[in-house]
Each structure stands twice: as structure tokens, then as C-alpha cells.
Chain A
């Protein structure tokens, strides 16, 4: 665990959880807008995107939806600080494919495991250029 902390409203967590449950049996995905102040990253808005793969083992974001989220975030004075996707049947940890396709070492990569549907697990990860993974704390407010 590093000293970077992510601040997320409980309602944003519920938005992510609902989106990922509605997406079952497939993976679901989205983007996070927010601010960065030193080691604290605050989520200000959650964007729910389409998994164009329609798969329970893969996801791809729609570039047009990505771009729309980027524009909306920027117009509100925020940046995109991370993304999220669900693992319907596996733990909350980056797969080899997740790591390979994590191109931005400043981004937060959140994974919501729905392996135990009654006990979802959301974790945040940083993936550096060498594909080393660090877990970041999420504080809910």
C-alpha cells in the first residue's frame, strides 16, 4: 500500500456498483473524473461507459464515450484521474491483460470484484511502466 489515497463519495461507489451489477454477466467499465492534490486524489464524477466487448472476461471502452467524458470533465474544471471495470468471476486484482493495457502510470485503475455478489470488493491500483502494481487506499466519504 502506498501513501496515495483516493477519496470517493459513497454515492459514487454505489453508482459504480449498480452499473457493474447491471452489466452482469459481462464486465462493466467507466471513467473517473477528479482532482489531484499532492497524494490525495478526489473523485468528483463517475462516467458509466459501454463495454464494447460484451464479454465476461474482457472489456474495451468506446473511444467516443471516452472523449465525451474527457470533454465533460474538462469543462467542469476536472481531469480524468482513473477508470474502473468489474471482474464478475475473479478477484479484485489486475490480470496480465489489465497490466499490459494499462498505459498511464499516473492513472488509477479500479477493479470491482463481484465474485462474491454479496460482498463486492473494490480496490485501486497503480500500474507503472515496468508493470509493477501498487495498491492505493480508497477512503469513502
Chain B
């Protein structure tokens, strides 16, 4: 099954869930990652039940922030 991650085509098995994809893509610090699929933001609580489909466009966005101290 083909879909895109950050604009690049990737192939994974059918039925892969978002949390499995995060693990297989070896995303560091996943607790700081926001995910969109086809421009829709996915709630963190739904990562384990969200299934990626053929042709989906997945984006991982790291939280960006900091402080002066």
C-alpha cells in the first residue's frame, strides 16, 4: 500500500495504524509530534486506532517552542 509521508511516497502493509507508523518511521520524541492526514489534525488519543489508507498524505510536525531561561 502506497501513501506519502512529508511528500515522499512510502510503502507499508495494509491496515497500519498511526502509532505503528510512528514506531516504524523511528520518529524521535513522538510525544512532541502533531500529525495530519490529508490536512486533518489527528488527536493523540486516536493514534492507536487511526488506520492509514492507500493514497493518504501524512505529515509529522514537531512541536516548536522554547524559553528564554
Q: How far is the CB of B26 from chain A (nearest CB, A)?
A: 12
**B69–A64 touching, CB < 8 Å:** no
**A101–B63 touching, CB < 8 Å:** yes
Mask, A33-64, CB within 8 Å of B = 1, is 00000000000000000000100111111011
Mask, B27-69, CB within 8 Å of A = 1, is 0110010101001010000000000000000010111111111
**B36–A95 touching, CB < 8 Å:** no
Q: How many residues of B contact A (CB 8 A)?
A: 18
Q: How far is the CB of A67 from chain B (nearest CB, A)?
A: 6
Q: How many residues of A contact B (CB 8 A)?
A: 33
Which of the 9-residue segments A2-10, A11-19, A82-90, A131-139 touches chain B?
A: A82-90
Question: In whole angstroms, how far apart are the Cα atoms of A89 and B7 in the complex?
Answer: 39
Interface secondary structure of A, over-half rule: mixed
**B62–A58 touching, CB < 8 Å:** no
Nearest B residue (CB) for A100: B66
**A98–B66 touching, CB < 8 Å:** yes
Question: In whole angstroms, how far apart are the Cα atoms of A58 and B67 in the complex?
Answer: 4
| A118 contacts B by Cβ under 8 Å | no
A53: which B residues are within 8 A, CB to CB? Answer: 65
A-B pairs with beta carbons under 8 Å apart, 28 shown:
A27-B68, A29-B64, A57-B69, A58-B65, A58-B66, A58-B68, A61-B64, A63-B34, A63-B41, A63-B61, A66-B61, A67-B39, A87-B68, A88-B68, A89-B68, A90-B69, A95-B69, A97-B69, A98-B66, A98-B67, A101-B64, A101-B65, A102-B66, A103-B32, A103-B62, A103-B63, A104-B62, A129-B28
The residues of B with any CB-CB pair to A shorter than 8 Å are 7, 28-29, 32, 34, 36, 39, 41, 59, 61-69
